[in-house]
Amino acid sequence: MDLGVTNLDDCTFLKAEDLDGILPPIQSRRLINAFCSVGPVPSGSSSTEHPIGTLTATTHMNGTPATTHMNETPATTHMMGTSTMTHTEKFQIPWQKFPVKMMTALKERRRPQPKDRRHMIRIIMEDMMASDIRPGRSKLKQVAQQLVERYPDSFLDKCGTNVVGQGFASLVVQMENRVENVRRQYGVSTSSEGRPKKKLKSSDYYGCSNWQPVAPNGSDDEEKKKMLQDAYKENLLSEIDIKRVMSETYSAQRITLNNQDNVIKVMEEWPYLFEATHLLDHTEKLIGFPVQTKLLNQIEEKGKTITEFLVSKGITGVTADPLNLLWGLIKYLGEDPNVLLLNQEDASRELPSTPCIIIVDEGQYKLAVDQVIFNKIISCPLVAFSCMFSIFYVLNIKYPKEAALTLEFIQRYVLAMPIYRVLYCT
């Protein structure tokens, strides 16, 4: 409508660049192809016969014949990800079963009460699990996206004016929790048996764009690894040479990290990996962006909003300093600060098995994982924060349940990373 589109005929004049920033490029082209395949409004007919908002098309976005309706119910076109229009026939949301208070809130574009939202989740999952006792995440995502697309004002995940993640992650988490609760009632657990209580690893590579690259044929990674090990002991290489060789052996590092549970052994094989510079370089290759740079930019952009919110909730002394902000989030979410942030005295008594920051002195920090302190003094709180968060990805470590909400918030809202990485220790 902002572009001047008032009817279906106008839609045939759209170009992919007109939808830049609203839909991914491929989805933009599919949508435009769908508009064009419907054809222009017949001559002599009123241009208001096909107003935007009540458009009926006969083609799916992928080009296959079907009938879809863009009805008058609220919808959002800025949702990220693939449209669920082609999946609505797989599961029909039982709107007629929802409580009257819930439907009233939706029609009035209000946020439903938490208890009504939980009731809605129970109704949806009861219908879904009647035919599928273990619905997959993709199916739950489709349903969550349908809910948000139809009633964005009521369900879209937002913090202030910013959309959090893909906009429907909280619904997916609620549905997953309901699946787990129902299955537990029947004595069926989705968690694996006999898993260790210490650092947990995941075979999932969600959120990682380069989790296990294929090593080039004829690579001399073993020789380079030995060279790095010797150089570390004798300080034989310049920083430039170390960065170059570490970059060249990235695939070999991933092989070790994805197959080795013992952190000490990983340190012995790749000692430079546990220095801040090379750890952050490795993380950038792994997830596709520089954590430290993005964290800095996002704190500058969102830090004031977060601190003002925390102060309004009675969390005093919070500033936009990275570690101070982290502490404020931990306190507000009611989690254990000693899982992610410890002072020197507490660290000398006991360390958590998951990654954490040790505050040695004013402006001096160290990092630990698997109860092993592994790096030299870091003098920048932003670097310490970036490294601590990066270790979860580099070493495939699940979030500890005592700090899972805080880390998930950092992942989804501050760094805008996919929800799929939300994995917890039990």
Q: Are 320 and 334 in contact (CB under 8 A)?
A: no
Give the global pTM.
0.57
Q: DSSP letters of 117-157?
A: HHHHHHHHHHHHHTT-SS--HHHHHHHHHHHHHH-HHHH--
Half-sphere exposure at residue 264, Cβ-oriented, CA atoms within 13 angstroms: 3
pLDDT in tens, 18-52: 776 677 777 778 888 887 776 554 544 444 444 44
Cβ pair 68, 17 in contact under 8 A: no
Nearest to 340 by CA among 282, 397, 261, 264: 397
Residues 6+ apart with CB under 8 A from 115: none
**374 CB-near residues (< 8 Å, 6+ apart):** 263, 267, 274, 367, 368
Reported as half-sphere exposure (CB side, CA atoms, 13 A), residue 241 has a value of: 10
In DSSP notation, 89-121 reads: TT----GGGS-HHHHHHHHTT-PPPHHHHHHHH
Least reliable range by pLDDT among 124-128, 299-303, 343-347, 407-411 = 343-347
For the stretch 211-234, pLDDT in tens is 777 766 667 888 999 999 999 988
CB 121 within 8 A of CB 129: no
Identify the burial level of 322 via C-beta atoms within 10 angstroms of its C-beta, where 0-12 means exposed, 13-18 middle and 19 or more buried. Answer: buried
pLDDT above 70 coverage of the chain, percent: 77
- As a whole number of angstroms, the distance between CA 173 and CA 230 comes to 47
Q: Which residue has the tokens 């994805």?
A: 258
For residue 75, pLDDT beyond 90: no
Q: Which residue has the higher pLDDT, 209 or 419?
A: 209
User: What is the structure's pLDDT at 59?
Assistant: 38
Least confident of 61-75, 103-117, 160-174, 260-274: 61-75
CA atoms within a 13 Å half-sphere pointing along the CA-CB vector of 371 = 8
The pLDDT value given to residue 247? 92
Amino acid at 209: S
Instruction: List phi, psi (to 5°) of 62.
Output: -95, 5
- pLDDT for 271 beyond 80: yes
At residue 107 the predicted structure's pLDDT band, cuts being 50, 70 and 90, is: very high
Q: How many CB atoms lie within 10 A of CB 419?
A: 21
| CB contact at 8 A, 158 and 302 | no
Residue 206 contacts residue 138 (beta carbons within 8 Å): no
- Between 384 and 138, whose confidence is greater? 384
DSSP SS3 for 163: strand
Contact yes or no for 382/365 (Cβ under 8 A)? no
Q: Can you give the pLDDT at residue 40? A: 54
How buried is 228 (Cβ within 10 angstroms: 0-12 exposed, 13-18 middle, 19+ buried)? buried
pLDDT score, position 27: 77
**Residue 202: both structure tokens together:** 């995941």
Query: Average pLDDT, whole number, for the chain?
Result: 78
388-401, pLDDT tens digit by residue?
999 999 998 889 98
Average of per-residue pLDDT across 312-322: 90
Q: Which amino acid is at 313?
A: K
Using DSSP's 3-state secondary structure scheme, residue 368 falls into: strand
φ, ψ of residue 366 in degrees (nearest 5): -130, 165
Q: How far is CA 249 from the centre of its chain?
A: 28
The average pLDDT across 363-372 equals 91
